[in-house]
Amino acid sequence: MIGLIDCNNFYVSCERVFNPKLENHPVGILSNNDGCVVARSNELKPFIPMGMPAFKIPSDLQEKITLLSSNYELYGDMSQRVFETVQNYFYHVELYSIDEAFIHLNGDQKTNNYCRYVQKIIKKNTGIPVSIGLSTTKTLAKIANHIAKKDKKHEGVFCLDIHGPDFRHILENLPISEIWGIGRRLNAKLIAMGIENAWQLKNCSPKFMQQHFSVVLERTVLELRGISCIELTDFHTPKKNIVASRSFGQSTNNLFDIEEAIRLHTCRAAEKLRKQHSITHAVLVFLRTNRFHDQSLQYNPSFAISMPYPTDDSREIIRAAQKGLRKIFRAEYHYHKAGIMLLDIIHKNQRQLDFFTHIQNDQSIKRNNSLMQVIDRINQQMGSHTILIGGQRKKARWHLKREQLSQRYTTRWDEILKLRI
DNA sequence: TCTGGGGTCCTAGGACCC
DNA sequence: TCTGGGGTCCTAGGACCC
């Protein structure tokens, strides 16, 4: 038996733990730069579709609801707390995203009751409400979870039995767009072929789907039939690419601004790189103009620079990134977003001493390593961006907009919740 | 005025090799 | 007239996810 445990309206729930006034009130969480609505409380869902740009929300509605900037430091820490509890109650847990994990259950556990029990413990330990869907494959567990959430009578736990009397009825009433792995494009193509609900898709020939679409859709069909064939890569396996990018608070064509942004993004990416004990062979720099301004000229260049030798040293990567930036920067465009991607990432121990690369001597490697370690430790303890490389103005025009940010209640002593008695 | 960010997997097609 | 065949590796782009 496979289960999917999913935190309800996760970002909103995190905010509510520390701000009970938000309970039973329509709340939305905005993406970076306070751009789009990326999470909604149940009370907000009837009024605002997912992903709606904040500026398009009518002002009379804005007055009745609460919109908050996203506070990823808080959500990341709360996620860790939830899944620490989950790991105590299920023998095999696969973390899938910040708010979801697949669980594997023993056949002899009285599953529904046991899941309800764990659900209560998670709520008690962390304040976060969760839903649990159970079935025989990951795709079906996702569907079960969807039902657990949607239909109040299940109280957040539902088991989808492929031999049960209502299995067909449930799948017939599920549009294919709700199935895990069916996105916008596939949905349109399948509907054009007359395949509209999950039951129809389940009855398609897997081989036909593989030939006309891909092995991915073939697997989905098999999973709907109860044949498990989707393996997940472990949440903790080191990343093969690391991206750091942000939109600017305001568009700019000033090279000095963009250099500053690229330095900051490169520092963030290099920190992630060191955290997973990896080194990178190359860095790709990219710029984007605003794609929503179709009347202005568009320019979305990118340029990859190979490192002279694989490294995790922020300074070396910044140097390469700045070189790449100067190759693609054109002052006649206004840029809306800039970022970098670390490519060809390998584990530190895989570093090959090859004949043609410039080899640093051991002493300088050691010295640079300790410098990076000190920077990481200080930033971890005293707040990210305490130590940065190169100049960083506090109020540059490209900085993110985060006007409604809550406190980092669980990770900063000076932002901890204060009680008055 | 204002429209997110960070990932993965798969496939097709080209380059290259013997 | 008629220009091999089979394999690997790499890359760009598409599609999807949360």
Beta bridge partners of A132: A5, A157
Query: In A 183-212, which Cβ lie closer than 7 Å to strand B?
Result: 210
Q: Is the CB atom of residue A220 positioned under 7 angstroms from any atom of strand B?
A: no
Tell me the angle at which helices A314-328 and A255-275 cross, rounded to the nearest 10 degrees.
Answer: 140
**Non-local CB neighbours of A277 within 8 Å, separated by 6+ positions:** A238, A347, A348
CA of A311 to C1' of C18 (A): 30
Give rounded-to-5 percent helix, strand, coil for chain A: 40, 20, 35
Beta bridge partners of A302: A286
- How far apart are the C-alpha atoms of A98 and A292, rounded to whole Å? 29
Task: Give the H/E segment covering residue A92.
Answer: strand A92-97
Q: Which nucleotides of strand B come closer than 7 angstroms to any CB of the protein? A: 1-11
Domain boundaries, chain A: 8-74, 75-233, 242-382
Cβ-contact A150, A172 below 8 angstroms: no
Could you tell me the two tokens for A254?
């000033």
Strand A2-7 with A27-30, pairing: unpaired
Ranges in chain A, pLDDT < 50: 355-356
Q: Is the CB of A268 under 7 A from strand B?
A: yes
Chain C nucleotides with an atom closer than 7 Å to a protein C-beta: 14-18
The phi and psi torsions of A400 (rounded to 5 degrees) equal -65, 150
The pLDDT assigned to A356 comes to: 46
Q: CA–C1' span, A371 to C15, in Å?
A: 41
Domains A8-74 and A242-382 share a fold: no
CATH code matching the domain that covers A75-233, chosen among 1.20.1260.10, 1.10.150.20, 3.20.20.10, 1.10.150.120: 1.10.150.20
pLDDT, position A106: 78
Q: How far is the CA of A333 from the C1' of C3 (A)?
A: 50
Provide the pLDDT for residue A108. Answer: 57
- Rounded to whole angstroms, the Cα distance separating A139 from A399 reads 40
Q: What is the pLDDT of residue A355?
A: 47
Q: Is the CB of A319 under 7 A from strand B?
A: no
Is the C-beta of residue A49 closer than 7 Å to nucleic acid chain B? no
Find which nucleotide's C1' atom is closest to A188's CA: C15
Asked whether A70 and A404 are in contact (CB, 8 A), the reply is: no
**Is the CB of residue A400 less than 8 Å from the CB of residue A250?**
no
Q: Which CATH class is domain A242-382?
A: alpha beta
* A246 sits within 7 Å of strand B by its CB: yes
Kindly report the backbone phi and psi dihedral angles of residue A340, in degrees, each rounded to the nearest multiple of 5, phi listed first: -135, 155
Burial A169-206 (b: 16+ CB within 10 A, else e): ebbeebebeebbebeeebbeebeeeebbebbebbebeb
Q: What's the alpha-carbon Rg for chain A, to the nearest Å?
A: 24
The full DSSP string for A179-197 is: STT--HHHHHHHHHTT--B
pLDDT confidence of residue A293 = 86
Distance of CA A296 to the CA centre of its chain: 31
List CB-based contacts (under 7 A) with strand C: A 96-100, 142, 179-187
What letter would DSSP give residue A99? T
Q: How far is the CA of A46 from the C1' of B1 (A)?
A: 27
CATH for the stretch A8-74 = 3.40.1170.60
Q: Is the CB of residue A33 inside 7 Å of nucleic acid strand B?
A: yes
Give yes or no for CB of A240 within 7 Å of strand B.
yes
Calculate the angstrom distance between C1' of C5 and CA of A357.
37
